[in-house]
């Protein structure tokens, strides 16, 4: 009986021990499941937040339905109306890149153009659709609600006004993107031209100070609608241009150049080339002042040219009797100058005046040739007189006065080129 009782007691203890382990394992698994569930709930909360944020953003940007815009388009007629009142056309240019081709006297510009004006006829037209809440609640208000149409198709169909823009000195035009017209419930209409690539002819390049030259680029856009269209620049855009000029941060890529100044002018006046013309023509002109990045020209062409000349005058450090070595050094120097001149000529068109770099190359030719001539004269005189005293004196003076006179003449020549162009 005692043995049986002990056995039962052991069995009971064993059973309780087993149950405790199972409970402990269950509790651990339950804790893990809670953590996992917490992570899942947190992820769902984040996703729902993003979803509702996106939904709110979409709701904020909700616009006039496309079907309604299609109905409005069929009613548009602005392009068929004559200009009876003067229109204030607010203009904005956004330049992306400018590439200057000095060789062909042209420059190319990649830019966006935006023109906006208030169209009184738009409010009258939109009133016909005031049964729609989106029109009724926003008519005449600055709500940002608009319909968007293809610009080229809209102008072709006569739905919007054609301002008949044209440019001065334009060589080519290429459109790289789709252009749009937006009509707002406020009555404003915006014409947007994107990624347009223009090439203009510029006959006003001045390369006299090359490679330290500054150039002024201009783009003049006109409208062929006389008396009724005047260009304006919004106050906000004026402030933006002023800020860019003050900070020298124009966000315009001009390879090989640095933008120094950006100005925009609007003019509404009579055509000066027509005598007693009473008609006023509006145009907007953008001026961009650029400065050449001259460091590479100094390093690649300026210093090597000067160095070659100094080497050519190194013949006076060689014995007058060694005429062969002197001649070889002089010839190599002249050929090097010729090679550099050919490379430089590829940068600019044929000009009827000298540039600073031309002046440097020309004086370098003269001094490299002078070193050769003086070296030959000294050698010939020494052979004839059997006295090398003249050659020794010549060499000593040439070693000092040759480089000094080279520098002085270059400074004088540069002054003449800049102030008194040949």
Work out the percent of the chain whose per-residue pLDDT is above 90.
55
Q: Is the pTM of this model over 0.85?
A: no
**What is the per-residue pLDDT for 395?**
87
Residues in CB range of 74: below 8 A, 6 or more apart = none
**What is the per-residue pLDDT for 60?**
35
With both helix axes pointing from N to C terminus, report the angle between 323-345 and 303-312 in degrees, rounded to the nearest 10.
Answer: 160
For residue 369, give the 3-state DSSP assignment: helix
Give the Å distances, CA to CA, from 365 to 42, 204, 305, 337: 80, 30, 10, 7
What's the rounded Cα separation, in Å, for the pair 52 and 54? 5
Q: Do 378 and 390 form a contact (C-beta atoms < 8 A)? A: yes
Which of 273, 271, 276, 290 shows the shortest CA–CA distance to 95? 290
Q: Do 213 and 292 form a contact (C-beta atoms < 8 A)? A: yes
What's the rounded Cα separation, in Å, for the pair 158 and 82? 12
**What is the per-residue pLDDT for 162?**
95
Give the Å distances, CA to CA, from 82 to 85, 161, 186, 224, 250: 9, 9, 22, 14, 39
Which of 303, 284, 289, 108 shows the shortest CA–CA distance to 206? 289
In this predicted model, what pLDDT tens digit does every residue of 200-228 receive, in sequence order? 999 889 999 999 999 999 999 999 999 99
Instruction: Report residue 28 as tokens.
Output: 């651990």
Average pLDDT, the chain: 84
Q: Do 193 and 153 form a contact (C-beta atoms < 8 A)? A: no
Residues in CB range of 94: below 8 A, 6 or more apart = 111, 112, 113, 114
Q: Do 100 and 254 form a contact (C-beta atoms < 8 A)? A: yes
In this predicted model, what pLDDT tens digit does every residue of 309-323 receive, in sequence order? 998 888 888 887 788
In this predicted model, what pLDDT tens digit does every residue of 109-145 receive, in sequence order? 999 999 999 998 999 999 999 899 999 999 998 878 9
What's the rounded Cα separation, in Å, for the pair 14 and 216? 99
User: Taking the CB of residue 323, how many other CB atoms lie within 10 A of it?
Assistant: 18
In this predicted model, what pLDDT tens digit does every residue of 342-398 receive, in sequence order? 887 888 888 888 999 999 999 999 999 898 888 888 888 888 877 778 888 888 898
Instruction: Indicate the DSSP class of residue 156.
Output: H
Q: What angle do CA 210, 93, 274 make, to 5 degrees?
A: 80
For residue 148, give the 3-state DSSP assignment: strand
**What is the per-residue pLDDT for 1?**
38
Rounded average pLDDT over 326-337? 86
Give the Å distances, CA to CA, from 286 to 165, 222, 232: 15, 12, 13
In this predicted model, what pLDDT tens digit does every residue of 215-271 receive, in sequence order? 999 999 999 999 999 999 999 999 999 999 999 999 999 999 999 999 999 999 876
Residues in CB range of 80: below 8 A, 6 or more apart = 158
What's the rounded Cα separation, in Å, for the pair 314 and 32? 88
């Amino acid at each position: 009986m005692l043995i049986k009782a002990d056995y039962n007691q052991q069995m009971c203890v064993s059973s309780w021990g087993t149950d405790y382990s199972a409970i402990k394992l269950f509790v651990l698994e339950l804790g893990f499941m809670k953590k996992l569930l917490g992570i899942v709930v947190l992820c769902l909360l984040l996703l729902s937040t993003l979803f509702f944020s996106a939904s709110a953003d979409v709701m904020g940007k909700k616009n006039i339905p496309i079907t309604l815009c299609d109905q409005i388009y069929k009613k548009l007629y602005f392009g068929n109306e004559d200009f009876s009142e003067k229109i204030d056309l607010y203009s904005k240019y956004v330049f992306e890149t400018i590439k200057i081709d000095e060789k062909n006297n042209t420059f190319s510009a990649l830019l966006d153009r935006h023109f906006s004006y208030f169209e009184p006829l738009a409010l009258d037209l939109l009133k016909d659709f005031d049964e729609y809440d989106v029109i009724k609640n926003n008519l005449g208000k600055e709500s940002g609600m608009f319909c968007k149409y293809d610009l080229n198709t809209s102008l072709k169909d006569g739905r919007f006004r054609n301002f008949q823009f044209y440019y001065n000195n334009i060589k080519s035009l290429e459109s790289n993107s789709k252009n749009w017209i937006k009509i707002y419930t406020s009555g404003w209409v915006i014409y947007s031209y994107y990624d347009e690539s223009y090439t203009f002819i510029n006959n006003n390049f001045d390369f006299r100070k090359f490679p330290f030259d500054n150039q002024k680029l201009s783009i003049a856009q006109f409208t062929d609608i006389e008396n009724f269209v005047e260009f304006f620049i919004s106050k906000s855009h004026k402030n933006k241009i002023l800020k860019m000029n003050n900070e020298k941060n124009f966000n315009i890529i001009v390879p090989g150049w640095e933008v120094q100044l950006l100005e925009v002018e609007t003019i509404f006046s009579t055509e000066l080339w027509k005598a007693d013309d009473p008609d006023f023509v509006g145009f907007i002109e953008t001026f961009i002042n650029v400065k050449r990045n001259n460091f590479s020209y100094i390093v690649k062409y300026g210093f090597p040219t000067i160095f070659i000349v100094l080497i050519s005058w190194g013949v006076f450090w060689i014995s007058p009797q060694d005429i062969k070595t002197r001649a070889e050094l002089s010839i190599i120097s002249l050929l090097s100058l010729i090679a550099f001149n050919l490379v430089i000529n590829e940068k600019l068109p044929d000009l009827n005046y000298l540039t600073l770099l031309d002046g440097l190359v020309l004086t370098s030719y003269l001094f490299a040739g002078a070193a050769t001539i003086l070296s030959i004269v000294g050698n010939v005189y020494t052979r004839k007189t059997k006295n090398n005293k003249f050659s020794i004196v010549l060499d000593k003076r040439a070693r000092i006065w040759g480089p000094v006179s080279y520098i002085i003449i270059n400074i004088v020549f540069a002054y003449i080129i800049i102030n008194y162009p040949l």
